[in-house]
Structure 1
Amino acid sequence: MKYYYIYLTLMLCSLLFLNCNKTKVAERKFNDYEFNTLISGQGSFNIGHAFTIDKNVYVEDDFDFIYYTKNIEERKFLIPGSFGNDNFPVYWREVNLPFRITKKVKGDTLILTKNKRRFIFKRVKNSDF
């Protein structure tokens, strides 16, 4: 009977160690890649630290892309239901889907196209905000 408990304990410990040893998905830095892709779906793309584009996981650690809207109507076009004034920047991941992004490797701008309208988002260092 003692061997049964020892065997059961060893099996449970080995199962715990097997589950803890899962490989982490490789996250790529968004700034190090070029994009010309359509991001489809509904709602906002601003959920979480990591995000997926074309089945690859990316993170924005050092830089982000922002756009200052010209007026409140333009802000509501990008973020429907926005009650904020147009003095605050819009982050590219806050814009409601679907849209197309175009960006060069380590580029200073990200071009977001939504309903045939183009918006140029400028790159800023995350420590500046």
Structure 2
Amino acid sequence: MNALPLTRPSKTDRILAVDDSPDNLFLLQTLLEEEGYEITLAENGRVALEKIEISPPELVLLDVMMPEMDGFEVTKRIRSNPKLPFIPILLITAYDHPSVVQGLDMGADDFIRKPVEVDELLA
């Protein structure tokens, strides 16, 4: 009898990280690429929506507080676009409970708080 090779659990291949802070994007990119994920970066909501239209990722990590278009509006637009497949959205927020509820009501799937904890991000 042949034993099956041990493999790592499957991961989301492509993640879009959206944040207006270059430092936060660098941190997310570094952490996730080390774990084998393919990361695409967007510095605001408008750019994120353009990238999602061109090539939908398997997961969106989305900062809530951004200029031009906040994470709530980006979430709403992703969820209201019938051309897109279902894409899990994880909000990254420094805010309190009411903003989390608002994000979930807009269609986000979950959230993590800033500052981002490595273990929580990789869970």
TM-score over 0.5 for the alignment?
no
TM range (shorter): under 0.3
- Structure having the higher helix fraction is 2
Q: Which has the higher contact order (CA 8 A, sep 6+)?
A: 1
Bigger radius of gyration: 1
After TM superposition, the score normalised by the length of structure 2 is: 0.28
- Structure having the higher strand fraction is 1
